[in-house]
A = this chain, B = another copy of it.
Amino acid sequence: MGQFRFLTAGESHGKGLTMIIEGLPAGLPLSEADLAPDLARRQGGYGRGGRMKIEKDHAEIMGGVRHGLTLGSPVALWIENRDWVNWTEKMAIEPVDIEIERVTRLRPGHADLPGAIKYGFDDVRNVLERASARETAARVAVGAVAKRLLAEFGIVFHSHTLSIADVRVQVPSTIDWDAVENDPVRCADAATGEAMVAAINAAKPQGDTVGGEIEVRVSGVPLGLGSHVHWDRKLDCLLYTSDAADE
């Protein structure tokens, strides 16, 4: 297998999201059903915006798979934006005759200001369409392909929420992963999860949001990933590059 590399494209209110993954081996079983659970999981969680009710993400495999097995060829994925029908003018590929209202209110803590300055935009929509949680759907789909590959080696992923706002869980020594998946904030302790929900509820009336921390646990990983021999092959570094970008 070559290097696993991928590009993603697509705006939040555009036609949809496009992904290409290059470097998969041939003969890996892969179907759209393998991608569905992670896409659905991304759409859950307490306090998500109204958009989640519109979009039921489905990643369609557009190439790279034949009769249920990868071909070794690049795998192309497509996630349609169901909301696109309401944005065909505001987000048209071609110029439009009508005047489009510009977005000029910058979201704090987002890429809006540096993006507008870097690229010289007077409409922040040109930034926010790509600096958007929607783009994570693309990476969740790519991540699901990666997980499908790693599953062949017995490598398994779990994650849970460590903290939301100032509520922090005392991580139990054994985590019930089924319970985590059913918890509205994916907390490993039900009572702490309720406190996290309360913290979200408390922030809402102020028009505010709250941050948090998650932990990803990967088991079944073989010894010897990465290498001590050169700075850019060390595992911490490589992991952060990929994982940070995948959340």
Identify A111's interface contact among B119, B139, B228, CB under 8 A.
Answer: B228
Q: Which residues of the partner chain B approach A161 to less than 8 Å between Cβ atoms?
A: none
**Min distance, Cβ A119 to any Cβ of chain B, angstroms:** 4
Q: Interface 1/0s, chain A 42-71, versus B by CB < 8 A?
A: 000000000000000000011111111001
- The bracket for how many chain A residues form the interface is 35 or more
- Tell me whether A244 is interfacial, beta carbon within 8 Å: yes
A81 nearest CB neighbor, chain B only: B63
- B232 and A237 contacting across the interface, CB-CB below 8 Å: no
List chain B residues, Cβ under 8 A from A130: 71-73, 228-229
How many copies of the shown chain assemble into the complex? 4
Closest residue to A132 on the B side, CB-wise? B228
A91 at the interface (CB under 8 A from B): yes
- Per a CB cutoff under 8 Å, which of B10, B27, B115, B117 touches A62? B10
Binds B, one of A94-102, A149-157, A167-175, A197-205: A94-102
The reply to whether the CB of A14 lies closer than 8 angstroms to some CB of chain B is yes
> Does B16 contact A228, Cβ atoms closer than 8 Å?
no
Q: Distance (Å) between the CB of A163 and the closest chain B CB?
A: 18
User: Is the CB–CB distance between A120 and B26 below 8 Å?
Assistant: yes
Residues of B near A228 (CB, < 8 A) are: 111, 114-115, 127, 130-131
Out of B67, B117, B232, B237, name the residue touching A94 (CB < 8 Å). Answer: B67
Report whether over half of chain A's contact residues are helix, strand or loop; otherwise say mixed: mixed
Task: Report the minimal beta-carbon distance from A167 to chain B, rounded to whole angstroms.
Answer: 21
Encoded as 1 (CB less than 8 Å from any B CB) or 0, chain A from 18 to 49 comes to 11101001110001100000000000000000
Does A73 contact B240, Cβ atoms closer than 8 Å? Answer: no
> When chains A and B are docked, how far (Å) is the Cα of A111 from the Cα of B247?
25
The answer, yes or no, to whether A93 is at the interface (CB within 8 Å) is yes
Binding site for B on A (CB under 8 A): 2-3, 5-11, 14-20, 22, 25-27, 31-32, 61-68, 71-76, 78, 91-96, 100, 111, 113-115, 117-121, 125-127, 129-131, 135, 139, 223-224, 227-234, 236-237, 240-241, 244-247
A-B contact pairs, 12 of them (CB 8 A): A3-B3, A8-B230, A9-B74, A11-B63, A11-B66, A15-B63, A22-B229, A67-B93, A67-B94, A73-B229, A237-B240, A237-B244
